[in-house]
A = this chain, B = another copy of it.
């Protein structure tokens, strides 16, 4: 893929960050924490398998942080857990249909605000 390089100003990136967060606050979706967002997108953007230990190492946080975030996002239906039958100590974090839709809506929100940003200048 060959494309024009872009240069974003400070005002542009902050405006994008502001507009997207404002949209996320206003909508009916639950607001995820920064850690939850990072876990969710790691699971949905990167190749499996995903374990608690791997996620903790990647985010540089403790394992209970991952466990708790998975508890909450599990209740929300955004991810699910399954024992690894090959090594039953591991838990594999898996994607769900609702989680995929949630991520898709997030991408739409960001894209829309990015376009608005362009037309506002």
Contact = CB atoms under 8 A, between A and B. Distances in A.
Count the copies: 2
30 contacts: A1-B121, A3-B121, A4-B6, A6-B6, A8-B114, A10-B104, A10-B111, A13-B110, A13-B111, A13-B114, A14-B103, A14-B106, A15-B45, A17-B106, A17-B110, A18-B37, A18-B38, A18-B42, A18-B45, A21-B34, A22-B38, A22-B42, A24-B34, A25-B35, A25-B38, A25-B59, A25-B60, A26-B59, A31-B34, A31-B35
Contacts of A41: 14, 17-18, 21
Interface of A: 1, 3-6, 8, 10-11, 13-18, 21-22, 24-26, 31-35, 37-38, 41-42, 44-45, 58-61, 103-104, 106-107, 110-111, 114, 118, 121
